[in-house]
Amino acid sequence: MTDAYLALETGDVVEANARAPGTAQGELVFTTAYTGYEESLTDPSYEAQVLTFAYPLIGNYGVRRERFESDRVHPSAVVARELTDDVADWLTEEGVPAVDGLDTRDLVLDIREGGAMKVGIAAGPDATPEQARAQLEDCPHMSDITDIGERVSVDTQETYGDGDTDVALVDCGAKQSIVDSLVERGATVHVLPHDTTPETVADLDPDVLFVSNGPGDPANFEAAERLVDEYIGEVPIAGICLGQQVVARSLGGDTEKMDFGHRGVNQPVLDHDSGRVVMTTQNHGYTVADPGDLDVTQVNVNDDTPEGLDSEELDVMTRQYHPEANPGPNDTLDFFDDVLSMAASRRTPLAAD
């Protein structure tokens, strides 16, 4: 029985089955990952997006909170070929609409051919195509969601670990596994709001300034850009995913929206220096178009977009992919060792202007 509708930006309306009721809107994207649905659904980088799973069955090993990357589900709605009851019940409890019973192969092809698009969803016993179209009509573009940092960032500073290396992690939507990866290597991680001031960072006097992953357009994270601009050359700087984009923009570079982004656990990345290709986990819809003062050291094998930016002179190291994986391969975990190694030759204490 059809009781859910997806109204696409193309004008098409797709029928589906409601598994968690409600209405929603967002940018329709897909992930090719076939495991790690708990991690994907709790990844803050999916904020304001409708996540489509390309893999046909989602939920075949249940739901366990210890695998979560944050304290809530972030996509505004979920689409799959088939959702198990465990996942459907979880999404219902979270108040996140979910649908299945449609051909996600066709949907993924639509996104690949037409690019990520806006979508409106209505799901439940009283759902109608008109409700879905109404959600689509006032759905904003990702670049227009200027408060997206506030939606995913901590409100006040949180500290994890008790190691010898102090990391100031600017939370633009950080995954918990990034914090865990640093703590496991002997760091004390100070998770800071996305709009943290330079004075706050100066008071912490960190060994590394780290800009996290996050959702949306990096141009909407101006405060994080200012932090990089303030302390470049004074403290080592690292970044992951959106963090790479923010750092590049601060150092004279530029970013651009991709057609449908990179989302999955099978993205091949070539390291120019070693000639080694590694498999990576990725989740982003924007990329660095101009690296500015940084050198492109790694590229995506599929489309040649920058995956690693470095500057030995400025003590900067960023990656577009997620070295912590969760879900995904562990080929690039050594990034965290390299970041903390930058702290071994750290500079004199900071002083905010």
Residue set of the binding site: 45, 214, 216, 242, 245, 283, 285-286
* 225 tagged catalytic: no
Q: From CA 39, how far away is CA 73, in angstroms rounded?
A: 9
From the list 230, 208, 221, the residue with the least C-alpha distance to 337 is 208
User: Phi and psi (nearest 5°) for 62?
Assistant: 80, -165
Q: From CA 52, how far away is CA 104, in angstroms rounded?
A: 7
Q: Quick check: 211 and 170 in contact, CB under 8 A?
A: yes
Q: From CA 57, how far away is CA 36, in angstroms rounded?
A: 12
Let me know if 92 is exposed, middle or buried by CB neighbors in 10 A (0-12, 13-18, 19+). middle
Strand-pair partners of 159: 190
| Annotated catalytic residue within 172, 241, 284, 307 | 241
- Neighbouring CB atoms inside 10 A of 156's CB total 7
Which uninterrupted H or E stretch holds 204?
A: helix 198-204
332 three-state secondary structure: coil
Which residues are annotated as part of the binding site for L-glutamine? 45, 214, 216, 242, 245, 283, 285-286
User: Phi and psi (nearest 5°) for 105?
Assistant: -60, -45
* 272 tagged catalytic: no
Q: Quick check: 68 and 42 in contact, CB under 8 A?
A: yes
| Annotated catalytic residue within 38, 39, 47, 324 | 324
Question: 271: phi > 0 → left, psi -120 to 50 → alpha, else beta; which?
Answer: beta
* 139 tagged catalytic: no
Rounded to the nearest 10°, the torsion over CA 199, 203, 207, 208 is -30
Q: Which residue has the tokens 């500290």?
A: 159
Contact partners, residue 97, CB within 8 Å, separation at least 6: 4, 18, 20, 21, 22, 23, 24, 76, 77, 78, 91, 121, 123
Q: Which residues are catalytic?
A: 241, 322, 324
